[in-house]
A and B are shown apart, each in its own frame.
Chain A
């Protein structure tokens, strides 16, 4: 077999599969959003759905999704990075903790939402404890709250082990003798972190943040269960528009927005990160 043919045969199944569904689905969605394709309506090009899209509800949903995306990505990082640093040293208990925190990886988002529902609900465990100790007079509203704390909490819980895996693998590539060299030259623990560990783990931090943002920005299940009634996330709004209101073209517009916004975030974030790294190093 000629090598070129072999390469094509190797690449085609995977790449072709992705390309087929991506290209076809994207094209259909794009065409729907401008009315060229659609159900229950004469096909024909129009911007009317895009014009109709930008109402108050859509903007609130967009901001809510952006808030959940960014909040989850960095909120998780805030917990995952110190944990990854701790687990890096083979201290007593590190193995046990490392295993326990990975449990959410095996719990589907919907199940996770229900699990946490019982803990954080109006009559849930946390409120029970707070009331019991007299720390609050009334149960706190932690789920379906207007801000979305409930959603953020579940997202962080769900994505923590994922970020932990990414960060741990990057931290593992930093050789201990580089750390030793820094200590030897007079760097205390914080200076080693700031001048050596942090800059060298920056690629992993970037990836961890971007991936969690993309996963949470387009979230449906957790917002549907633990999110506020209004505003809701873009994905939930899209679902409502399509299946409840049968506004398929509007739903397609929202789908486009989710994808383009995710891409835009990755682009802007990567560029900023590179700039920051350039000046720091």
Chain B
């Protein structure tokens, strides 16, 4: 049980440093250095060599580049009237749905997930566009933030997806099949989220503003002018999605198309100015610095966990238990939720896969299905404290505290767990679409 003890020590160190109130990235780096020096018994030279290499490597990443670019795109939308118009246009349309504009984060993240391969980029971009609008319109802040944290992680499940690409390469599963397999589970999760929001809106007070917007009277009226308001964002989505599916841009490059499209829209609507440019660039640069500081610190922490052999040893322990298929899945789910407390998506995948994948295949599960299962586990990790990226970026966006955001995300964590159960009981949710495509396409 030394694994358990080590895991608890690391967890304690994280709570200790972060609780102290140091900046999160400083805290996570401190945890790593402490563990390397005291537990792994490494010399300062070795620690320095490891830490600087990981720092440079994790920050100089092509896959990471989409994040600052999408942040910039979101910031342009935020600073022009594109975001206000979007909500003005949506308001009368959603009037009849319980929860009204509170669904905006879920729909927004689902759509944005189709252009972005990252959970962080999805949460931060949609959040920049929606959160202030929702607050100003009197919607429940906790539900808005929680749904954003939960739905942001759809960026990984709905194609394209960076973690799916990594899984596909390592598990030798077709990336295209994986992408197809993520679509229905992604829509299912979105539906679960929306169902929950409708339920809360019907049963709770003060969740949505009293007066319906746009229509004024009892009967909501959708006018042509409202639809025109939706045009800029619709155009933006069509252009970026179109650039990916026409083969013009890779998913990694689509963010640059998004920035260009947002700038063109700002220009055409007469809102592009030097002020807007400099303000949006400088604010994006700062936000990106915050995100990358966390990426670097989390990478160092996961490297440290790798040196501890913690994920490998626990996975090996599970493999020695000879469990029935469903018991194995249940135990693996618990294992991944625990790993997700400390680690982020790609780390979780690469560290556990060499041991868990053979187990899964032996137990008779389809590696394609397991890919989707693993993505759901990774999604859970993005909203669990103490190390949860969606929690971090939302703190950066809202100035709410991590514990508040974690509490607001809790229902969505549970809904994701429901999604995992459904996916396990009905694997066809993931497997039907790729099989149909393969069957039809030859």
| Co-complex (A, B) | no
Chain A residues with a Cβ under 8 A of chain B: none
